[in-house]
Amino acid sequence: MVNNPIFSVIIPTCHRNDLLIKCLNCLAPGVQTLSPKQYEVIVTDDGSKTSAEQLITANYPWARWVPGPRKGAAANRNVGARHAKGEWLAFTDDDCLPDSGWLEAYSEALALSPTTLVFEGRTYVDRPRRSLAETSPVNETGGHLWSCNFAIKRQLFEALGGFDERFPYAAMEDKDLALRIEKLGNFSTFVKKASVCHPWRATGGWKQLSHHRKSTAIYLNIHPEEIRSLNAVYFLRLIWQFLIQKLLPVMRLEYPLSITIFYQLAHIFLTFILVLFVGMKRNLIGILDNRLS
């Protein structure tokens, strides 16, 4: 066990031992180019059916298993942070594959930019996309503080109160954290060499759509001022992304609806949204003003 690591790698998991094995193999001493004395690995387990404890105890003695709170990914990551010994927290997910130089790249970034408190890494995919029913949080050029690949000074993370545990699902909790970081006057620095592969995964169907909708509602309730940042172009792009990247794959997977009919409906829907957008935004801002007054 490492006594004074620079990094504490935190991996939340839940019933995905098959994926967790691949992730841990990428973080093993001798695989990561950073010295094993400079990092520790903590797996926070929200599983109730299949625990990762036995897997880690038997095969990964250099990693620590801690039980999760079973309150969602945000709370699970916070538990890992509370067990951390490192000065820096490096987050990734159990379905990710960190490159061998992942931690060393963050270490080099710390040396080059000692006043920076947050770093985000490159997140890429393992192959070309084969279907709209696949999704991955790609971050090739920066500007996305995805929870699957970033490092933050533990002191800042604790000052922020960690991830907001009002988010019960793995959606929008990282965007909320990024916004709170910015409100404190801190901004993340992109480290391209700190790369993590996030393989394409099948969309989560209607359940995932429901989680995103509820998480977005929570986010706007916490940050009502974000409603003001909406504009017609952004709003339409968001709707289009929802239709193409989320709704269409789900419909194709679960219902025999033709693509032609879908696009016709999408065109009608977008036109309708465009007409109503200005009035709707005025109503939202009016509600916001009443709430804040």
Higher pLDDT, 270 or 34: 34
Tokens standing for residue 70:
């079973």
Higher pLDDT, 292 or 97: 97
Tokens standing for residue 10:
């935190």
Q: What is the pLDDT of residue 232?
A: 54
Cβ 149 vs Cβ 123: under 8 Å: yes
Rg, Å, the chain Cα set: 20
Q: Kindly report, residue by residue over 220-258, the tens digit of the pLDDT.
A: 888 888 877 655 555 555 555 555 555 555 444 444 445
CA separation (Å) from 49 to 21, 74, 75, 162, 286? 17, 20, 19, 27, 47
How many CB atoms lie under 10 A from the CB of residue 52? 27
How many CB atoms lie under 10 A from the CB of residue 275? 10
> Is pLDDT at 109 greater than 90 in this prediction?
yes
Q: How far apart are alpha carbons 45 and 25 in whole angstroms?
A: 17
The percentage of residues in the chain with a pLDDT greater than 70, rounded to a whole number, is 72
Output the pTM of the full model: 0.80
Strands 134-135 and 97-98: unpaired
Q: Kindly report, residue by residue over 37-75, the tens digit of the pLDDT.
A: 999 999 999 987 668 999 999 999 999 999 999 999 999
Tokens standing for residue 208:
């995932």
How many CB atoms lie under 10 A from the CB of residue 178? 21
Q: Which residues contact 127 (CB under 8 A, 6 or more apart)?
A: 199, 200
Q: Is 3 exposed, middle or buried (0-12, 13-18, 19+ CB in 10 A)?
A: exposed
| Torsion of Cα atoms, 11 then 12 then 15 then 20, to 10° | -10
| Torsion of Cα atoms, 17 then 130 then 172 then 72, to 10° | -20
Q: What is the pLDDT of residue 224?
A: 86
Q: What is the pLDDT of residue 185?
A: 92
Residue showing tokens 């079973």: 70
Average pLDDT, the chain: 83
Q: What is the pLDDT of residue 270?
A: 54
Q: Kindly report, residue by residue over 135-177, the tens digit of the pLDDT.
A: 777 889 998 999 999 999 999 999 999 999 999 988 889 999 9
Question: pLDDT confidence of 190, banded at 50, 70, 90?
Answer: very high
Q: How far apart are alpha carbons 203 and 249 in whole angstroms?
A: 7
Q: What amino acid occupies position 20?
A: L
Q: Which residues contact 282 (CB under 8 A, 6 or more apart)?
A: none
pLDDT average, residue stretch 106-124: 97
Pick the CATH number of 7-202 from 3.90.550.10, 3.30.460.80, 3.40.718.10, 3.30.450.40: 3.90.550.10
Q: Which of 10-19, 82-91, 129-138, 226-235 has the lowest mean pLDDT?
A: 226-235
Inter-helix orientation angle 232-241/259-292, to 10°: 130
pLDDT average, residue stretch 191-208: 83
Q: Where are the domains of the chain?
A: 7-202, 223-292
